[in-house]
Structure 1
């Protein structure tokens, strides 16, 4: 009871609206670590990156991508939603609490790290968009979808790797790791994402090589000139 009263008193003393305080008490506090692993600037930057990525992925899904005429498993479909929700919770779980966030001062080294990570993220963000647009346009003629077949694409990162969209996903999660440097949970997120992207990219690369006999020999699966 004492802990509950303390929690209520703390919620009442913060500038959070009542709905946000309720969400924090029942959704955030149960998963939050006692001590933060990074600054509020890092946490805010990471969440902002997530907002941008989720907005792009949503727009691509409904307005850009031309999907193959095959079905995917319900679990695979649902896992995407669970991943993004879990990743954001992972960021917030190690972020500073509202009452102490304003007291933290970002160092010059952290500012340089955040700016560098954002620049890398911006590059990968743009290149992933370009790759997805190129994949969609390859199945269109005059703005209309004419095929759902896989087509060998050239130009840009496609001249270096078979799956630029997966290469850029790996780079973006690396940028998140730099932003959240010192965190614990993100190591598991990045291990899952990198393992998943590398596996799919290698499988796709072998499939392209078998389907297209004239597939460029110098083109790698996911890492230019390496893998």
Structure 2
């Protein structure tokens, strides 16, 4: 798995990997979300509005891209309504992550990430959004007429959306807590050292921002349906976030002697 920040900067891990010359500052996450928020999202929103609200065909180049990346024999596996909801939620997540990385997070000048992670990050959200639309009505072979209709939203969908928003907001609050560890009461950055976060979900978990990330993607999977190829994206996110959660939990326990014994890695009170 790909790691960054304190996990990369750990002396023992760095000596074992020896990728010093293949690293970039962790603050480069800003570029990942800048490209995603202001290049990829507008492209996807334009295609969605064009097809579902203006009732026109998707751009030829975009259809060709879907055929190349996902195959030309794609069949619509989800409704228009669920597609629009999923795109809307992903858009909110990308824009909020842009805000967090630019106006909330305090990156240490010593923190770094591997170039490979940066390169993957630059293209990740576009690939994820393309997969989201790859099996959507009118972007794939569609049986019958399928238009946006609120009546298609089930109770399960509504619960998934509510859980998504809860996780979305909680991920932001944990980001604020992490940033405040390096600020004084006036909001000025006074240190770049790592400290043990406390409060909110940190009472129960070592990396709640990672756990909420997993939760959001699972909610999108519920909304899109289990037959949708979104499970591929979920698998990638789950494996990467689990590695980060476990590694961070071990790092905190090793680094801080006052680490709360009741704090878990993934699921509160369980594990």
TM-score where L is the length of structure 2? 0.72
CA distance in 2, matches of 1:56, 1:92: 21
Structure showing greater Rg? 1
Per-residue Cα deviation, 1:85-109 (whole angstroms, up to 9, x for no partner): 1111111001010696992376967
Match of 2:146 among 104, 114, 124: 104
- 2:104 equivalent to 1:64: yes
Q: Structure 1 residues 97, 77: closer, same or farther in 2, change over 3 A? A: same
Q: Which runs of 5+ in 1 are unaligned?
A: 1-10
- Residue 147 of structure 1 corresponds to 191
CA distance in 1, matches of 2:55, 2:264: 52
- 2:220 equivalent to 1:179: no
* Secondary structure of residue in 2 paired with 1:72: strand
Runs of 4+ in 1 over 6 A off after TM superposition: none
Match of 1:163 among 207, 212, 227: 207
TM-score where L is the length of structure 1? 0.85
* Secondary structure of residue in 1 paired with 2:113: coil
Q: How many residues align?
A: 213
Q: RMSD of aligned C-alpha atoms?
A: 2.5
- Residue 39 of structure 1 corresponds to 79
CA distance in 2, matches of 1:29, 1:203: 38
Contact 2:74/2:134, CA 8 A, preserved across alignment? no
CA distance in 2, matches of 1:109, 1:16: 22
Q: Which runs of 5+ in 2 are unaligned?
A: 1-50
- Residue 6 of structure 1 corresponds to none
Matches within 5 A, 1:1-227: 15-16=55-56, 20-30=58-68, 31=70, 33-68=73-108, 69-97=110-138, 103-104=145-146, 110-141=153-184, 142-227=186-271
Contact 1:46/1:176, CA 8 A, preserved across alignment? yes
Contact 1:220/1:226, CA 8 A, preserved across alignment? yes
Q: Structure 1 residues 109, 16: closer, same or farther in 2, change over 3 A? A: closer
